[in-house]
Structure 1
Amino acid sequence: MPDFSPERTQIGAASGMGLAVAQRLIADGVRQIALIDLKDDTLVEASESLAVIETSVEVLHIAIDVSKEELVEQAVAATVEKFGRLDFCFNAAGISGTNAGIADLTVEDLDKVLDINLKGVWLCERAQIRQMLKQEMRELSTGLPFKTRGSIINVGSLCSNNAVVSNLSPYTIAKHGVLGLTKQDALDYGSQGIRVNCFCPGWISTGMTAANVERQGFLDNYLSRVPMGRWGSPEEVAYVASFILSDKASFVTGSSITIDGGLSVR
């Protein structure tokens, strides 16, 4: 189990993989956590679910649109004001967008997806890295003779590497961009004690994927390609995230980490 100190903080989300990661981090020892999502009511419910796991947890929830620069900056500042520093970040906000070929899409369709899935991640990561650069390097909890300023995971997709789903070009463009952003920032800030990795999950059972599958009617087609023959759960993503964010993964950065039940081997 990853060794998390109680004072470490994390920015996540209030549903799906983001919430599962937050819950796993609390179970693994984190005691101070900030959740950022669009709607306040879902954040309240998420906070309550964390308190069930550990009554002593301190939760800051902030309802913002991550595509708004000023709001993202304020959210990170509020987190640091309450908890003192920023150590672990999980950037999971995303939407699937309109299901149509490019010939039938509008610029507005493109902008809506890029604003959240790519620009939103870029804004969050920029604010997080700016804060981490202000922080003192700390010793690793593993006892290894190295130091760190923090760890970030950006949530990409199988669509970060390939065009997996038909008629979803804005989403695929954005997720390719998230992987590129991850690799660039891992290169630029690795020497300064900041690790950045990208998760590329396959068919994970969340509200967004369920709605997408129902709309497109391709469940049997795509799930039949998964060697394990089933959906993944957000909790399975969370176990991997808990390790990658922790000091036990101190030499892992710039990686594209696939969590897909073997789908990408075909």
Structure 2
Amino acid sequence: MIRFLIFFIGLSLFSCAENKTSSPVFPSKIEGKQVPVSAKITEDKAIKDFIAPYKERIDDEMNKVLSYTPKILSKTDGEYNTPIGNMMADAVLEMAQPIFHQRTTKNIDAVLLNHGGIRANIDKGDITTKTAYNIMPFENEVVIVEITGAKLNDLFTYLTKAKRAHPIAGMQLILDKNNQIKKATIQGKPVDKNKTYYIATSDFLQQGGDNMLFFAHPKNLTILDYKLRNLFIDYFSKHPKINPIKDQRFIKE
């Protein structure tokens, strides 16, 4: 038996050595076929029974009612600011501020998220855990960037050129009829180029997502280890009724 194994191993090594000097081998033909998923494919009862308790637990958690809204909230509800965008930015400011202050003794001055990051409407009626997953299906986290007044002005310039309802809080931007900045304030005051400001955003945007390059190299970066989706779940749980409105935080006269 041992002799047979030695012979077999030697033969295998010899064959491999021979292949190294021979011409490369290529497949002469590749075939495949499409197998459509349809009702004709019967379910596997054993697998279904196995996952049933896990699915039931997940469904219960996802359908848990957290809050209520009397109207549909959509990111198409306004040109420069929308109720859903305002709610999301306000939620970040409200929920992230105490965590940031506890860790740094500093305060968040403003919030900027991105319009494209709002992935679904919030339907009229009950707001559930699933609602938070629908509007924020990504694993993005809240971060706080410390930026200079000059960078903050770049932020306002970006919003002016974008002309989109990016969710903001803690700041106001008013454009004139020629799309020029008429008023730009943070916490109700003009930008001070000699100061630094703390802006809450997502890790995706801080890394230059949506071309928000003014966030890319902050003076300081604080990672809260707080996913935006979890933040919204906590915010909904805290507020029995969600009824945001369009306001004057970003408008064109």
Shorter chain as normaliser: what TM range? under 0.3
TM-score, length of structure 2 as denominator length = 0.24
Relative contact order, CA 8 A, sep 6+: which one is greater?
2
Q: Which has the higher strand share?
A: 2
Higher CA-based Rg:
2
